[in-house]
Amino acid sequence: MRVLILGIDGYIGWPLALHLLDKGHQVAGLDSYVRRQRVRAIGSDSLTPIATRTDREIILRQSNLFIDRIANTTLDISQDILNAILREIKPDAIVHLAEQPSAPWSMIGAAGAVRTQQQNVIGTLRLLWAMKEVCPDAHLVKLGSMGEYGTPECNIPEGEIPGQCIGELDFDRHCHMKGLPFPKSPGSFYHLSKVHDTHNIIFACKNWGLTSTDIMQGVVFGLNTYDYRTAQLPNEPTVTRFDYDEYFGTAVNRFCTQAIIGHPLTVYGEGNQTRGFLPLKDSLQCITIALEKPPEKGEYRTLNQFENVYTINRLARMVCQVSIGLGLKAEIKHIDNPRIELEKHYYNPAHQKLFDLGYEPITDIQEEITDLIKTLFPYKDRVIKDVILPTTEWR
């Protein structure tokens, strides 16, 4: 399969490219490298020493890549150039990871919010038009977020309002909303950008017959390369980036980083916030399943992509226990929540479709955290302490 990865230099994009090449697919990629700039701009850096752009291109050239380049571009190019790139690559599938991925970054101020919705919403909109004009049969695998749903006090389906929720009662056919998109209640301008994308993509599928899998992904954590059985460290140039700062780091990755430097694990607020989580390896597996088992032509498919739901407290305790088991000092500290979110709530999102398609979680989450801490430990002197704690308030 010819796969074009947008955002190939990112946390998921880079290991996904390697994983797809391993599986015999042909891979091309685009990236603007703006993530590297933004992380530097907030005074942080990837905890793992990642390869330069040139080195990553060399790695890809050694593979069975059908286009031996990573183009240095974004979706912020002219529509003609975007069309020309798709015409050259002729992708069977496009994995779109080229969005601004941080909720707190989108809440810094007007500029952050505008740049987030600009890059994400307008970028995806331009991609949809390019696909319509150049490769309407390609499969768009788009990274959305479980955060699109927010935390409503009801069960969350995978995409549409299901029949069994209200359809089967038949008390008044005109109260049924079966088949309509489940309403979204996102909690940041970043999550809102994903909701906007979702609506634009649904329309493109319905109106033009494009085909798309919209992945509502949970919070990803971990790294892709470490094998603790062989004690192989990810010092090879294939390792992906690893962010732990308040903007681009996510809960578990931040906790593990705090653990290796002996910093208390900082939980925002009560810590009973519940979310879907999955290791990076599972994310790669799931995206690959989505690619290899596409929906019907013209279908818009939603996949809720996560291994299971966990409270932040449970994950913090898990990181704590693992750390202590490894001889590290670790404790949990609750700090004021910079976000506006429910700190205790009902949460029951469906996530059956990927399991039905063959998803098998490849490791238990405790083992993954153990691996991660071992992997990160040699890099503990690279941690920049100042960037970890939250400074951007949601209000």
Residue in 6, 130, 210, 315 binding a copy of itself, rule: CB under 8 A: 130
| Residue 31 contacts residue 10 (beta carbons within 8 Å) | yes
Q: Does 391 bind a copy of itself (CB under 8 A)?
A: no
Q: Does 268 bind a copy of itself (CB under 8 A)?
A: no
Using the rule CB under 8 A, give the single segment among 5-13, 27-35, 176-184, 361-369 that binds a copy of itself.
176-184
| Residue 30 contacts residue 99 (beta carbons within 8 Å) | no
| Residue 240 contacts residue 15 (beta carbons within 8 Å) | yes
Between 155 and 352, whose beta carbon lies closer to a copy of itself? 155
Interface map 185-224 toward a copy of itself (x if CB under 8 A): xxxxx--x--xx--xx--x--xxx----------------
| Residue 200 contacts residue 124 (beta carbons within 8 Å) | yes
Residue in 24, 110, 229, 356 binding a copy of itself, rule: CB under 8 A: 110
Distance from C-alpha of 123 to C-alpha of 294, rounded to nearest angstrom? 23
In the complex, the smallest distance separating the C-beta of residue 35 from a copy of itself, rounded to whole angstroms, is: 21
Residue in 41, 58, 81, 169 binding a copy of itself, rule: CB under 8 A: 169
For 83, half-sphere exposure in the C-beta direction (CA atoms, 13 angstrom radius) is 8
Contacts of 147 (CB under 8 A, 6+ apart): 103, 186, 187, 188, 190, 191, 194, 275
Task: Pick out residues in 133-162 that bind a copy of itself (CB under 8 A).
Answer: 133, 152-155, 161
Binding site for a copy of itself (CB under 8 A): 79, 109-111, 113-114, 117-118, 121-122, 125-126, 129-130, 133, 152-155, 161, 165-166, 169, 171, 173-177, 180-189, 192, 195-196, 199-200, 203, 206-208, 340, 346, 348, 394-395
